[in-house]
A = this chain, B = another copy of it.
Amino acid sequence: MGIARAWWVWLLVVAVGALGSSRLCSSSSPTINNSSCLSWRLAVEANNARAWRTVPPDCHDYVGSYMTGGQYQRDLDMVVQQITAYITTDLQLSNNNYSAWILDVDDTCLSNVLYYRRKRFGCDPYDPTGFRSWAAKGASPAVPAIHTLFRKLVTTGFKVFLITGRDGDSLAHSTTQNLHTQGYTGYQRLFMRNSSYKGQSAVAFKSEIRKQLVDQGYKILGNVGDQWSDLAGDCAGERTFKIPNPMYFVP
């Protein structure tokens, strides 16, 4: 079953990552507490640092330890806790048929930590060919906290839309399969970037899709992504939630 498998693959991510980190660092504690890398990570998450191409070289061990040592999961859990509070206490789903929720795919629904570990957790520059090969395998594990949220959204009655910058012409099959095997079933639709959106920024492409949904009568109550470009632009949603990602920046 997809969900149980997701957790096993996630454990593998953490175990392999921890192995890598222990080889990289003499001690994980001083690494994860590196104060200047912590400041840099905060600047990324608060949308102060923009258009950065690679993780600062001095923060390689720090980001590796962060992603695989437990703090990344704790940070994710905290965001999902905030989202759950919003859903259960602030929202009144008066018209379920048009209550929409947006989720990003890469490093939101599906984890690419195993791939980025080979890219030195983002210290290497973006490699479009390498990432396309990885995505074509359809082997990304679910991010457990987001999968749990996804199931809650679907069972609560939200119409969940997935929007990804992945190329729809070449990666539609592997992405759909990957989502299915990881337990993402019951969403309304997966939007991928097709030829008519090529060359557009993530903000422009995702805004356009969200605008189409709003024009169809949907009310976007929430929007979750690991990039600020998932959450900026038109029709962003009543509430947006930024989940952590110190490994790369999508403009």
Contact = CB atoms under 8 A, between A and B. Distances in A.
Interface of A: 33, 35-36, 38-40, 42-43, 45-50, 70-71, 74-75, 77-79, 82-83, 239-242, 244
A39 B77 contact: yes
A244 B42 contact: yes
Contact of A71 (B35, B47, B239): B35
Contacts of A49: 78, 82
B39 A78 contact: yes
Given A48-B242, A242-B46, A39 B82 contact: no
Contacts of A33: 33
A233 to B, nearest CB: 14
A153 to B, nearest CB: 16
B48 A82 contact: yes
Contacts of A75: 38-39, 42-43
Given A48-B241, A242-B48, A43 B82 contact: yes
